[in-house]
Amino acid sequence: MLRRVLIANRGEIACRIIRTLRGLGLESVAVYHHEDRGAPHVLQADQAVELKADVPTAAYLDVAQLVDVARTAGADGVHPGYGFLSENAGFAQAVADAGLTFVGPDAAVIRLMGDKIRARQFARDHGVPVAPSLEPGDPAAIAAQVRAIGFPLLVKAAAGGGGKGMRIVRALEELTQSLAIASAEAQRYFGDGRVYAERYIERPRHIEVQVLGDGQGGVVHLFERECSVQRRYQKVFEESPAPNLPEPLRREICAAAVRLASAARYRNAGTVEFVLAPDGAFYFLEMNTRLQVEHPVTELVLGVDLVAAQLRIAAGESLPWQQEDLAVRGHAIECRICAEEPEHDFRPATGRVGVLRVPAEAHVRFDGGIREGQAIGAAFDSMLGKLIVHAGSRAEAAGRLTQALHALVLLGVPTNIDYLARVASHPRFRAGELHTGFLAEHADELRPQDTPRGAAAAVIAALLGEPDFRALAYGVPEPHATIGAWRN
């Protein structure tokens, strides 16, 4: 087993990894930019080292500095978390070249799966369904391929993700311009302008399968997650198991994920993502070669610790479970708490966390990276944490999630908490009638309703009963009392 692990990340996922390291008796080394100096992951780690960079995000992307800090701190392992350098083959190779253990797959596999065009061909070669597609080339050849595939098409970046470099094309006359725009966007975000186009599935579901591999071809799946409730290609709700998924189809999708990971001789944790058409056909989308944001729902329904499994596999141990050891118990749903303003097109928000009250029920889990008094700026991703619930059935889990969202108090910065509660209460969500256009389709119904005056008064009265809120409300000095004799 490893002894001391540097976490090349920040915020919620860094705190999550620290918890498991502490539970295993291992030491943690956190890194931070000056702007993060008071963040929980810095305070919780056994050791914390400041990274130097003019731009905050650049600190967490500095491969050479991170590797140097790991060696100086005496770490023997590096966990990348998710985002930042977690799927960067160069970082994984630099860690290995420094004689340290990278808690993730080999650089060669990251490189293979990170190239969407190569990954699709690899999947096709190993019997995993792939949607009909074309790569840019001679306009006449493209036109012929398009006629064979048909519209609509989805143009995607070969090296991308997160919705960048993606455009829907519904007519031939739009194709050339869409390819050019997508290529320019891909070049800007990923330094790689290659794009391709595949058949666009209308009203699809997004189903992904969690896998663990030993690097020798041994792979187990930890069942599937439903990630269809998205906004601008970004997941908002995730759950396990997927609702309304026929058991034979569930087995087929999971088997395809295992087949792909096994062929790649995948090591550590990864996720194989599929798009599921309304007619039951499913197609390989991509493989994420890291831990996913939504991994807690898998942990809750299986009673496992995926970070602990990652660490053990990275240390050279065999897979912690055989497939027959894994069975789903109940249902778990997660939603992402973000600093944003849903009433203003979800624009990112800033502020200072004044009050944070998390529901204490045993069936509620809050994975956060914030604390009271912490400033929330615009330098990093807007996600503040994740609220996850577990129950015996999906209906019960959806009810518990709604209750937990109403009980969660986060004051001082605008968030999407109320919006998430409206989604969780929506009849179609409760029925499990999900697809990737769910939020757009029900946008009007998900807008806030006018709050009755009496209800608003009750909310204010309840808040004034909180000592912390009263201190915030009445502790602000009157401006002219603080500026002496100076006036405009």
Each residue's pLDDT tens digit, 417-463: 999 999 999 999 999 999 999 999 999 999 998 655 555 555 565 56
Which stretches does DSSP call E strand in 158-204? Answer: 167-169, 195-199
What are the tens digits of pLDDT across the range 197-230? 888 999 999 999 999 999 999 999 999 999 999 9
Please provide the size of the chain in residues.
Answer: 488
3 state SS of 182: helix
Do 220 and 203 touch, CB atoms closer than 8 A? Answer: no
What are the tens digits of pLDDT across the range 239-252? 999 999 999 999 99
Q: Is a pLDDT exceeding 70 seen at residue 483?
A: no
List active site positions.
290
Of 169-173, 405-409, 461-465, which one has max mean pLDDT? 405-409
| Alpha carbons within 13 A on the beta-carbon side of 435 | 13
* Residues forming CATH 3.30.1490.20 domain(s) in the chain: 132-199
If pLDDT is split at 50, 70 and 90, which confidence band does 255 have?
very high
Question: Does the domain made of 4-103 have the CATH classification 3.40.50.20?
Answer: yes
What are the tens digits of pLDDT across the range 147-170? 788 899 998 888 876 678 888 999
* Residues forming CATH 3.40.50.20 domain(s) in the chain: 4-103
Query: If 0-12 CB within 10 Å is exposed, 13-18 middle and 19+ buried, where does residue 285 land?
Result: buried
Question: Does the domain made of 205-441 have the CATH classification 3.30.70.20?
Answer: no
Q: Which class is domain 132-199?
A: alpha beta
In the prediction, which pLDDT does 189 show?
86
Distance CA 266, CA 318 (A): 13
In the prediction, which pLDDT does 313 show?
98
Q: Is a pLDDT exceeding 60 seen at residue 98?
A: yes
C-alpha 354, offset from chain centre: 26
* Residues forming CATH 3.30.470.20 domain(s) in the chain: 205-441
pTM: 0.89
Residue with tokens 């860094």: 14
C-alpha 365, offset from chain centre: 16
Q: Are strands 355-357 and 4-7 parallel, antiparallel or unpaired?
A: unpaired
If pLDDT is split at 50, 70 and 90, which confidence band does 415 have?
very high
Residue 317 gets which letter from DSSP? P
Question: In whole numbers, what is the pLDDT of the chain averaged over residues?
Answer: 92
